[in-house]
Structure 1
Amino acid sequence: MRLTSATVALLSFAVTSTRAAADGPKFAFETVQLTVDDIANFSAIAPKPINPKTPGTVCKPRPECRAFPGSSDWPADAEWEKLGAALGGGALLKPVPLAAACYPGVYQDAATCTALVNSQTITRAYFADPLSLSTQWPAGNPCPLVANPTGECTQGGLPVYVVNATSVKQIQIAVNFARNKNLRLVVKNTGHEFVGRSTGAGSLSIWTQYLKGFEILPDYSVGAFHGKAAHAGVGLQAWEVHAAMAQNDIALVSPSFATVGAFGGFMAGGGHSTMISYLGLASDQVLSLNVVTADGSFVTASPDVNSDIYFALRGGGGGTYGIVTSVVVKAHPSVNITTANIAISSLDTGIDLFWTAMKIYFAYAGTIVDAGGIDRNYIYPYANITYFNFTTQFEFPGKTIEQVNTLLAPLTTSLTTLGVTMTLTPPKTITWASEVLGEGAPRRDERFSSRLLPRAVWDDPAKYATAFAALKKIVDEGGYEIHGTAMKPSRQLVGYPGADSAVNPAFRDTVMHMVIYDSAPSSSLRSVSSAEDLAARARLSTYTDFLRQVTPGSGSYLSEGDVLEPNWQQSFFGVNYPRLLEIKNKFDPWGLFWAPSTVGSEKRAVQSVDGKTNQNGRLCRTTA
């Protein structure tokens, strides 16, 4: 059935955008956009303009639950086929988990299974797959990767269909189809994500990893910015961005791990890296974004146009307001990094002296960040907590080996004077452009929580003593591994336009971001009961409370926080939450973009099929 002329006129307005779309740099894949001709014979992919007089409202009653395979409103096979034809180029995928190669059935392939099992840390295969995640528990671990598996390989909490997006048009079609058909929609870049924000049972996924492109803008102007910038496709991973930095002799704020997507959820959640105390967060660098919004529009967001969603997309969370296709970020002069490492074991020092050394070390974090550096530290409990290992890597952008030796001398002297046995790797200098860690990344299936520890902890000896006692208790009594990153993304550091963004304000006063890892009992094991799973989560939260209590008013890092973080609206977003919720409702009155613990997510919840906290179930409305 063809659309009426009146409807076509309305759609023409919607396709060109219901809001102003300023001219900005666009890659070729962004010039391929939805047209009225595309829609004419397939109303299911038509955009739906937001009423400019009453934004944030939806006239039609909302269904209680998203459509789900087997439900009466789930699209028929013929509709999926029509969607595939509209997308073109084989873009509509119906993939199975990579680990299906290890299970009896039509997908079994012994050689592929062996390669996957043996090469997890050196291959990018998992991050170049439309379904794979860096952690398995969010999907209910439906298809464990083991050489000799037991049980079945199922889809679980993984999407049913995936759109391999290589153009804005395909994203618009997928967004419109999901909204019009009441589907659960998820967005995935690399899957280097830990709490289930890029997966969901019965969902349609938009996969953005192949939206690649990079160009230097030598003299870019937007708002009050005038200078050198880089235009980057959202699908670029860190290893690709670092190669571009080396080729163009520039520095960008990019992830340190090779397989992390540099301009997707990493950027949208804030994004901390080696550069955080030197140039700020990844979200602080953004000058403009091209984005597909929930009504099917394709717009530019910058300080000059659509400034509200520009605010939200810089630190307000990924998979929430729209799908970013490319960004313009500040390009800085190339910089070298000087690194050094320290390792200490309680087997060498004794447990009492080990903890004395830790107290001295952590107290030095303020000095590290004030010098523009960071450190990444870990304390590992071993053998039923009979001994502990500590490692840390210091990284100082723009510092020489001599300067770093001088900076670290008071710390190393204090430890040596106490008689602490330690392994000190002397400083060396590398280029930031080359500083990516390996090809792949371990698929760790741990849960965790985190806390941003503010400057006040270091400025007040009593507060520091209390905070350190809490850290020691978490490791010594709780048996948890902790991972701290000393950092300082202060407002004074980041410059225009970084400080005015949706980033959790607690970040601006942070000296250390502390993550607490929990791996027992592993929720990746399907044999673990829901009661055991929830008990383990409750225990983790109880031990995290020791840090929450000594840092009132602070918060947690959205991208590395507990999916069950109490009072998560304040913890992840601080005072920005009410403003962000208004922006969410304005640009997405349908609640199309949903992910756990993101702005507006309290309005829906997953009806878990196994009683665990995962995405393996239907998404339905709540009373919130």
Structure 2
Amino acid sequence: MLSNTLKVGALLGLAIASPVHASESSSNECRCFPTDDCWPSVSVWNAFNQSVDGRLVATVPLATSCHAPHYNKEICDELREGWDMPEEHYKSSSSFMAPFFTNGTCDPYHPVSKPCRLGNFVRYAVNVSTPTHVAKTLQFATEHNIRFIIRNTGHDYNGKSTGAGAISVWTHHLKDIEFKDWSDKYYTGKAAKLGAGIQGIEAYEAAHERGLRMVSGECPTVGLAGGYSQGGGHSALNSRYGLGADQVLEWEVIDGNGNFLTANREENTDLYWALSGGGGGTYGVVWSMTSKAHEDTKVSGLNLTFTTTGISDETFFKAVEFYNSRLPYIVDEGVMSLCFLTNTSFAVEPMTGPGVPLAKLESLIEPVLKEFTRLGINYTYQSEEFDSYLDQFNTQVPVVTVGVAQYGSWLLPRTVVESSNDLHELTNSIRTVLAEDATFTTVAVNVSKEVTGDVYNAVNPAWRTAIAHTLMSTVWEYDEPKKMQEKRDLMTNKLVPAVSRLGPNSGAYLNECDFQQPNWQYAFYGKNYQTLRSIKQKYDPHHLFYGLTAVGSEDWTVSYSGRMCRSNGSASHIEI
């Protein structure tokens, strides 16, 4: 943390991403940038630091030790070894896990001689421990017209948790957790109040100790109260309880005026509705989230894999098509099935049945096994019943890496797999994706109203009629910007359209999406978009909260240098 003028002055000497173009001079239409005359002086920053109890953190990029003149081989080798794991990043106040948005400024994979720049990293972070710290940071950003960012773990595929020349509130250390009995006319049962910094595995373990389980993601380190629940939140428990956003009972949030608000179904209901599925980082700074906690029971799980060795392409895609045809029968029993396809492999890892007896889960997959055998496929199969969800999660859910891919997605309507013609078209779409050496993932769930019950939120309506969230990904290669942009455009122009054509009126999961998605307002938010915009205006009157493809982001553009300026309102884009 900053504690004296020397440290602040040292930071101000670091380089930014690139020289500012002459046409980008500071104006009231642009956020103040570090090279501008409006940028606060060292003394102003130090005064602000004192006002937040010395909790201002100056950004030093995590990979500084991988570049001259601070190169340290031992440290850099260690960083490189763990760079694709979330744990390497979320302990930092500035590092993030979306490689496209680092713009090659400072990582372990570029030449040592390449200078380590601040680039798209936030300039400062406030390690907040009280709501007052948040309010003071919002006030400071407003007074000095500085870009503002909300950051917890940096686990965001589209760079929402960072921004050049920005100040952020860092919520990662807000780790309070309180279990309680909740009773109102909408829900009666166990609940947990989670600080904004609580991560999935922390919630899982705390609930497990009390004989409970909570809905969170397959990645154990994701921030539960952040973009995960605010953006919807898929989970192995979705088909039993609904999405992450469907669990939320109450929010505590600091709005754009610095007011500390409680939002639930009876108080600030519009804000409650928007935060529950309408996207993270755009209506206020969440301080805590209270969500349903469910009784833990036995959980059945299974893995099923095979490779293309010894079989034809035709056989492979027949197997894929048959598996997809069985998805309604599987998810309607409260099961989630996670399937990864490449041009050389098929892997269900895992299929999860909370409260589903092992014999029942095995009966659901039996037709698939019989068809694989008939096709002559040599598969590997393992099934097991566990005493708790945490046991199954720790045993069967694969390790989730970061910084290794870029993504696009589409919510696949249930009707596609219920029609033989549409099912065949889905197979053709998968062929198109795999032919480009991409991975095709299906997160098969049922989150219809029959599963969720009485919920009130802004979740993309396309989720309610979907059979799966489909995710397309291409491998990331550091220090290959031209190649990666080509892959990015491939995602936008070919891979996502290959699937979206099957359900053009559906949408995409906004937490795992193509940030270049055309018509993103409808694709990510559906019919809720205009209502969400009006709610944002109410709680964010100074237009502080911004994230690429977040509600209202079309009002801004971010240039190659990182400068953020008002747009003509036609589109949200970034040119880093």
- Specify if TM > 0.5: yes
What is residue 464 of structure 2 aligned with on the other side? Answer: 508
Relative to structure 1, the CA distance from residue 424 to residue 286 in structure 2 (aligned partners, 3 Å threshold; closer, same or farther) is: same
Where in structure 2 are the equivalents of 1:123-138 lying within 5 Å? 124-138=87-101
CA–CA distance in structure 2, aligned partners of residues 534 and 110 of structure 1: 30
Cα deviations by residue, 1:332-391 (Å, 9 ceiling, x for unpaired): 11133211111121113232211111111121111111111111111123xxxxxx1111
2:232 and 2:85 map into 1 onto residues whose CA distance is 27
- Whole-Å separation in 1 of the counterparts to 2:239 and 2:162: 32
Deviation for aligned residue 1:123: 7.3
Counterpart code for 2:516 = L
Report the AA paired with residue 419 of structure 2. Answer: D
Distance 1:202 1:211 in 2: 24
* Letter paired with 1:424: Y
In structure 2, how many angstroms separate the alpha carbons of the residues matched to 1:148 and 1:187? Answer: 31
Using a 3 Å threshold, how does the CA distance of structure 1 residues 117 and 539 change in structure 2: closer, same or farther?
Answer: closer
Tell me the equivalent position of 2:426.
467
| Partners of 2:184 and 2:33 in 1: CA distance | 44
| Residue in 2 that maps onto 1:94 | 58
Q: Alpha-carbon deviations, 1:383-431, whole Å to 9, x = none?
A: xxxxx11111211111122111111111111211222221112334252
1:493 aligns with 2:457: no
Larger deviation, residues 285-294 vs 429-438: 429-438
User: How far apart, in 2, do the equivalents of 1:405 and 1:536 lie?
Assistant: 39
The correspondence for 1:155, drawn from 118, 123, 143, is 118
1:438-477 map, 5 Å? 441-476=400-435
How many equivalent pairs are there? 539
Q: Mean alpha-carbon deviation: is it higher for 71-80 or for 571-580?
A: 71-80
Q: 1:253 to 1:231 in 2, by over 3 A?
A: same
Question: What is the CA–CA distance in structure 1 between the aligned matches of 2:400 and 2:309, rounded to whole Å?
Answer: 29
- Specify the code of the residue in structure 1 equivalent to 2:460: N
Contact residue 400 and residue 429 of structure 1 kept, 8 A:
no
Contact 1:285–1:329 (8 Å) recurs in 2: yes
Q: 1:623 aligns with which of 560, 568, 576?
A: 568
2: distance between equivalents of 1:350 and 1:170? 61
Matches of 2:442 and 2:453 in 1, distance apart?
25
State the Cα deviation string for residues 291-313 of structure 1 (Å, max 9, x = none). Answer: 00001111000111100010000
Q: Which residue, 348, 351, 361 being the options, matches 1:394?
A: 351
Q: Distance in 1 between matches of 2:128 and 2:287?
A: 10
Pairing of 1:65-104 with structure 2 (within 5 A): 65-88=30-53, 90-104=54-68
Distance 2:332 2:464 in 1: 13
**Cα distance in 2, alignment partners of residues 167 and 108 from structure 1:** 37
> Could you report, residue by residue, the CA deviation over 1:422-441 in whole angstroms, capped at 9, with x for unpaired residues?
11123342521342489985
Residue of structure 2 in register with 1:560 after alignment: 512
The corresponding residue for 1:41 is none
SS of alignment partner, residue 349 of structure 1:
coil
Give the Cα–Cα distance (whole angstroms) in 1 for the partners of residues 83 and 404 of structure 2: 13
Matching residue within 301, 314, 337 for 1:352: 314
Question: In structure 1, how many angstroms separate the alpha carbons of the residues matched to 2:111 and 2:534?
Answer: 50
CA distance in 1 between partners of 2:157 and 2:563 (Å): 20
Contact 2:242 2:452 survives alignment (8 Å): yes
Alignment match, 1:280: 242
- 1:145 maps to amino acid: P
Q: Residue 19 of structure 1 aligns with which residue?
A: none
Q: Counterparts in 2 of 1:120-519, with a 5 A limit?
A: 120=83, 124-146=87-109, 149-218=112-181, 220-222=182-184, 224-381=186-343, 388-392=344-348, 393-434=350-391, 435-436=393-394, 441-476=400-435, 478-496=436-454, 498=455, 500-519=456-475
The equivalent residue for 2:547 is 595
Task: Name the SS of the counterpart of 1:515 in structure 2.
Answer: strand
Deviation of the 1:121 alpha carbon:
5.8
Once the two structures are superposed, what CA deviation does each residue of 1:83-102 show, in whole Å capped at 9, x if it has no partner? 100001x3100021111122
> Alignment RMSD, CA only?
1.9
Distance, in Å, in 1 between the alignment partners of 2:383 and 2:49 is 57
Conserved? CA contact 1:349–1:421, under 8 Å:
no
8 A Cα contact 1:139 1:199, kept in partner? no
Residue number in structure 2 paired with 1:63: 28
Which residue of 510, 526, 536 corresponds with 2:487? 536
| Distance in 2 separating the partners of 1:380 and 1:459 | 24
Report the Cα distance in structure 1 between the residues aligned to 2:421 and 2:372, rounded to whole angstroms.
22
Per-residue CA deviations over 1:146-166 (Å, capped at 9, x if unaligned) read 496341211110000011111
Alpha-carbon distance between aligned partners in 2 of 1:439 and 1:448, rounded to the nearest angstrom? 18
**Cα distance in structure 1, aligned partners of 2:295 and 2:187:** 16
User: C-alpha displacement at 1:125, in angstroms?
Assistant: 3.4
What CA distance in whole angstroms lies between the structure 1 residues aligned with 2:402 and 2:214? Answer: 27
Q: Answer yes or no: is the 8 Å Cα contact 1:291–1:300 preserved in 2.
A: yes
Conserved in 2, the CA contact under 8 Å of 1:121 and 1:439? Answer: no
Deviation per CA, 1:416-472: give whole Å up to 9, x if none.
122222111233425213424899853334211100001111222222211221111
**What is the CA–CA distance in structure 1 between the aligned matches of 2:501 and 2:227, rounded to whole Å?**
29
Identity among equivalent positions (%) equals: 30
Separation in 2, partners of 1:119, 1:533 = 22
Question: How far did residue 210 of structure 1 move?
Answer: 0.6
Give, in angstroms, the shift of residue 245 of structure 1: 1.1
CA contact (8 A) 1:405 1:427 kept: no
Moved over 6 A (4+): 437-440
Q: Which moved more, 1:533-542 or 1:257-266?
A: 533-542
- The code of the aligned residue for 1:83 comes to F
Asked if the contact 1:258–1:436 (Cα under 8 Å) also holds between the matched residues in 2, the reply is: no
CA distance in 1, matches of 2:58, 2:71: 17
Q: CA deviation at 1:228?
A: 2.1
- Separation of aligned partners in 2, 1:255 and 1:405: 24
Q: Distance in 2 between matches of 1:111 and 1:419?
A: 50
Structure 1 window deviating more from structure 2 (222-231 vs 453-462): it is: 222-231
- How far apart, in 1, do the equivalents of 2:186 and 2:240 lie? 21
Give the match's secondary structure for 2:60.
coil
Contact 1:481 1:518 (8 Å CA) reproduced: yes
Classify 1:256/1:375 alpha carbon distance in 2 versus 1 (closer, same or farther; 3 Å): same
Gaps of 5+ in 1: 1-61, 382-387, 610-616
For structure 2, the 5+ residue unaligned runs are: 1-26, 570-576
With normalisation by structure 1, the TM-score equals 0.83
Counterpart amino acid of 1:495? G
Residues 1:114 and 2:84 aligned together: no
Q: Could you tell me how far apart the structure 2 residues matched to 1:282 and 1:481 are?
A: 25
**Equivalents in 2 of 1:592, 1:416: separation in Å?**
58
